Each structure stands twice: as C-alpha cells, then as structure tokens.
Structure 1
C-alpha cells in the first residue's frame, strides 16, 4: 500500500496492538458515509493494518491546511449541518472517524498507570490523525470533520495543536434536547452512555460533587450531560482560543437557516455565495443519518411536540435537575 496515497484514511486505531487500519475510500464513499465506522466499509475493501508509526510516515512533508471541525452534544442536527456543508464543492466532509473516538476514550486516563498511551504519544497521534484527515481529495481543498459527541474532551487539545483550525460547537436548548432523546430509546441510551465522563467533567468544575451516576434517572443523566457540555462549550467560547470558536444553536439554524449558514460559512472561510446552494439542498428533507428516508423540518416539529406531550414528566425531571445544579453565574449562558 503506497504510504502517501491520499485515498487511504486511518480508519481504526488499536492501542493494544499499537497499529492502525488504513482503508481506501474515494470521494463518493466519503460523501455518502454518515459515520466513518464499520457501516462505511465498502465491499471488497482495500486496506491493511500497519504500525502506529505509519501515521507519522503518511504525513511527512504534508502541508495541507488543517481540517476545521464540528463538535456537538449529540442528536442536535450535526449530521445535517455536515451534509449541508457538502454543498460547497471544495469541502470534504468526514463524519465521525472512529480513531478520534478511540483517542477521546483514552484521553481521561493518560496520566494514570493503566493508560496504554503516554500523554506525549496521545498528543502525537492526535496531531498525525488530524493532519491525515486534513488532506482532501482533489478537487476538494478543505476538510471539515464532524466528531462523535463523545469527543468533546479533545476540542481544547486540537485548538492548541492547530493554530489555523476553526471549530463550530453545536447544541440546542434543554427541553427540545430531552424531547429528541425521549422519542427514541436508542438515542436516550446513547446519550446516557456518555454520562460517566460528563459527570466527571462536572465534578472537575466543582459542580454536583456529591452526585453519583447510579442515583440518577435516565432523563437526569441526559440532562446532566447537557449541562456538562454546555458549560464546556461556554468555557471554550470564552477561553484562550475564543476567536476560533463559533457556537451554533440547532433550533436557531432551523428557524433562521440563511443567517446561521452565513455565520458558519464565514467562520470556516467558505464562499458565502454558496449558502444559496445549501439552502436549496434536499438534505433538509431527509434523515441525515440514513438519507434514503424522508424527514423534514415539519416532521421534526411534529415529533418533538408529540414527545413533549408524552414525556412531560421525564422532561420536567431533567429540567429540575439542571435547575438545581446549574451554577448561578452561568444560568443565562448555558
């Protein structure tokens, strides 16, 4: 396998065997993939496992501009936004690459004896992975990576590593967020799966330190995760790299799409004239994670209204938890 062939992506990371799976994916396969995980592996896949050092070799002499990124709280329209950005012909969208999730899971343990990676090794891997994903296939010139929601702990490290990188932080208000999760049990469990790391982050901020995960209901766990991520996003948007961070609310994107897409395009230094193409995109009328299925803004509004009615008690349970633990100085901003 040629080490510098741009069609190969680092597809899986194996810290135990210290290897990386390289997989060939052409531009169409990348564009069609809602997730760069096993669901994106094509028939008769062309790939191979190689040592982690191959990541460094793959980036020797590479001067591609760093990929921009979309980070989000989960189930808040990030796949739709990523697909809308595909309306720019010079943009390569990469959605939820697995190695980023692997690193995000390893990151909180880096200073512990049980970590399989040293802090230096993890930092080097993150830099090498990002440089590889930054290499867009011609005629595209710029990559925009949409991360998995569990990767938000890497935002600060990436901003520090990549001085020219810009980030969109996407979320939504608590009530529609909970209604979205509660209308789909799989989404609720997906959000709750990240609750442990998010509670640890709250504890690190001095919030809800007496709260144990096992004592929380599922709606409370999801509301707690929402609060943790909103506080993280607030800190990033007001921190050292604030000028390279743009917060976007999904409800506002739906209500005022032209204005919000112009903000995103300007932030990512994309041609603002292409916003018209994004506004006309059929992606607005499809379920972004499975585009064969129709699902438009009216469908979403109907489903949310129904969920808010059917799950009123559970939503109130989550809202009450946030009202109790949200720090007073942040109530207006989280």
Structure 2
C-alpha cells in the first residue's frame, strides 16, 4: 500500500482527525470525470485503497507542480456546471467536492481552541499536502480544477496565501433566485443551514449580526444570512490583497451571456479562449450537472424557480427584508 501512494491515481479521499489517518483510494480518469462529489457516492464496489497514518499524506508533496485552480461558491449556484464546462478544455479535469477539504474547513474556525484536534501548523501542513496531491493531474490532463464544497469558503484565503500561482473563481447569484433555489429543496436548505454557524461567526467577526444567536433564526433566514456572509467574504477577497487572483462569477450572468462569462473565466485561469465556443455548445447545459443521466436545461430551471418564488413568496420576502436590515446596521 505504501508504494501505491506515490502513484497520482491514488487520492486522499477521507481525513479522520480522531484516528489521525487518511483513506487513500484509487480513482481513474473516468471515475473522476463522472463524479459530481468525491465522497461515498464515488466509491466503486471494488475500490482499491485503504487507511494509512496522517503522515502518509504529510510526507507526500509536489511543490514543483503548478497548483490546481479552484472554484468556490455559495452552493446551488451552477458551480458543478461550471466545473464540467471547464472540462471542455482537454488539459483540464475537475475534482469536485473532495471530502478532506470539508473536514479541514469544519476544523479551521476552532484551531485556536483547546478542543481542536489540529494545531494551526498541523492544519496548514495538511491543507498544503492535500492541495499538492490534488494538483497532480492524470493523463491526458495536465491541470486540475478543484470545486470545493460551499462550506469551505473559509479556506480560500489560506489557500491563496500558500500557493501564489493559484487562481480562484468565486461563484454566486442574486439573493432572490438563491433563496428560491434552496427553498424548493429540503436537502438544499439543510446544506445551507449546515454552513450557517461558520457564516454567522464570520459576520460577527466583521461586526455584523452581533446581536443574533443561530438557534433564534428560522431556516429561511439562515439561508439569507449565509448569502450575506459570502457576499461580504467574496467582496473582501476581490478588493483585497488577492484581487488579481480571484474573479467573481454570477450564475445568472453565466446563463444570460455564456460566451462572455466563460471567456472571462478562461482568461483568468490561463486557458485558451478559443475553446469558449465549444464550452458554450457543451451538452452539459442540458443535463442535471450532479447526475448527468438526467436532462435539465435552462428552461427547466426557469420553470422551477418561478414555481418556487410563487410557493415560497412569503418566506423569500421576509428573508430579503431581514437581510437588507442586517446589512444596513
């Protein structure tokens, strides 16, 4: 097993902070391409791999490789579609939502607490080692683009600090369609609520919503609170020290002007803009990005959003007014 870990087809698949160990699994090029999530759903019945000590990860770095680029987002805003569209460029392969990144993101806000299972240095070493491994592309590709889980946005600044060549896309959408997208799906609301604690902590660290406690906020407002937190975070990144290494992307703009927006992304990531027309013509536009066997196009989305805005009109209006009042304080 130890020798196999030097092969780039083995990925660090799970990070167990209690047992201080890493699950390594072999995923070939096709398995990576098909996977919408690098979690248990991507594990084949005959998966090859096993658990190894955390040191098996920390001992393997590839600092001479250009780092994988990244897509960070607010959730349910077209990031999986973007990841698949970027695979139009033959050198690119997407790695979508690797679990260890989520594990580190959950641990990051409490690294300075006595209950943390990682020190600050250990967490930074683990993040650096994970990204180095995810930067090792499998032939015929030469560059990976990692799409993070939406709860991982607290890692954007640490990653940019560690990797001066890394470039990131920060993806979101306006509040009203965001709320309509979430509220039509209980699972989507759960995703947003799961990240609400870190997002409230972020807001309060920046002097917003300091009077609030999460247990007093209904779920539809937690969704809006998360949107506000990510707007503030993305704005700060786009206007701060890493302004030339991040680019904002609005999903509604991508749908309205796909060629224009994909060209912006391609230039930002150092990809040949001549392939934009191929990306615009990609069949991914007409499929559900997280399950490619299901048809789901722009008209289907517009119909679903219109129905959700009608069904959840009261909650959407309440959340809009509530978050506007928060932002004005």
Q: What TM-score does the superposition give when structure 2 sets the normalisation length?
A: 0.98
User: Counterparts of 1:196-215 in structure 2 under 5 Å?
Assistant: 196-215=197-216
Q: Do 1:207 and 1:327's aligned partners in 2 also have CA atoms closer than 8 Å?
A: no
Root-mean-square deviation (CA, aligned residues, Å) is 1.0
> Which of 39, 45, 48 does residue 46 from structure 1 map onto?
48
What is the rounded CA distance, in whole Å, between the counterparts of 2:228 and 2:213 in structure 1? Answer: 15
Is the partner of 2:252 in helix, strand or coil? helix
What is the rounded CA distance, in whole Å, between the counterparts of 2:58 and 2:218 in structure 1? Answer: 44
Give the aligned partner of residue 66 of structure 2: 65
What is the CA-CA distance between 1:58 and the residue it aligns to?
A: 2.5
Q: What TM-score does the superposition give when structure 1 sets the normalisation length?
A: 0.96
What is the CA-CA distance between 1:57 and the residue it aligns to?
A: 2.7
Tell me the alpha carbon deviations over residues 252-288 of structure 1, each in whole angstroms, 9 at most, x when there is no partner.
0000000000000000001111111111111000000
* 1:293 equivalent in alignment to 2:280: no
Give the aligned partner of residue 246 of structure 1: 247
Give the aligned partner of residue 14 of structure 2: 12
User: Counterparts of 1:67-146 in structure 2 under 5 Å?
Assistant: 67-146=68-147
What is the rounded CA distance, in whole Å, between the counterparts of 2:121 and 2:190 in structure 1? Answer: 33
What is the rounded CA distance, in whole Å, between the counterparts of 1:183 and 1:202 in structure 2? Answer: 26
What is the rounded CA distance, in whole Å, between the counterparts of 1:225 and 1:5 in structure 2? Answer: 39
* 1:234 equivalent in alignment to 2:252: no
Tell me the alpha carbon deviations over residues 232-271 of structure 1, each in whole angstroms, 9 at most, x when there is no partner.
0000111111100000000000000000000000000011
Give the aligned partner of residue 23 of structure 1: 25
What is the rounded CA distance, in whole Å, between the counterparts of 2:127 and 2:63 in structure 1? Answer: 15
User: Counterparts of 1:149-298 in structure 2 under 5 Å?
Assistant: 149-298=150-299
What is the rounded CA distance, in whole Å, between the counterparts of 2:181 and 2:138 in structure 1? Answer: 35
Question: What 5-or-longer segments of structure 2 have no aligned partner?
Answer: none
What is the rounded CA distance, in whole Å, between the counterparts of 2:265 and 2:165 in structure 1? Answer: 16
Aligned length: 327
What is the rounded CA distance, in whole Å, between the counterparts of 2:174 and 2:23 in structure 1? Answer: 38
What is the CA-CA distance between 1:42 and the residue it aligns to?
A: 1.1
